[in-house]
Amino acid sequence: MTVQTQRLLKQAAAILPASRDELMLRGIAAEITDRIVALKKSERNLQSKYQTLGGLEEQIKRGGVSPDDHTLYTDLLEWRAIRHELAALMNLLETL
């Protein structure tokens, strides 16, 4: 943590009815929440294209991925990464 951040945290704790730890936890929770919202938005975009992750997987199994266009595979990887990160963030949020 930088000196400036430590100073701001000390000043905020002196003014606000919250401890330094509470302020830090609230900041972490806010960042986690912001990231969850962004990931959910990305997931909704994929759902609008393919309906479900399983549906996308089935589409790839049936038709494969064109050598000229890897969009399906890229979207599959992105969706899986979104799901993985969402699960990790939700677990982290539950531990706060």
Give how many domains the chain has, as a whole number: 1
33-55 tens-digit pLDDT: 999 999 999 999 999 999 999 99
* CB contact set of 82 (below 8 Å; sequence gap of 6+): 39, 42, 43, 46
Report the share of the chain in percent with pLDDT over 70: 100
Q: What's the pLDDT band for 56 if we cut at 50, 70, 90?
A: very high
pLDDT at 83: 98
* CB contact set of 65 (below 8 Å; sequence gap of 6+): 72, 73
Q: Structural domain of residue 89, as residue ranges?
A: 3-95
| Total-model pTM | 0.88
Tokens of residue 66, six digits: 């064109």
Compute the mean pLDDT over every residue in the chain, rounded to the nearest whole number: 96
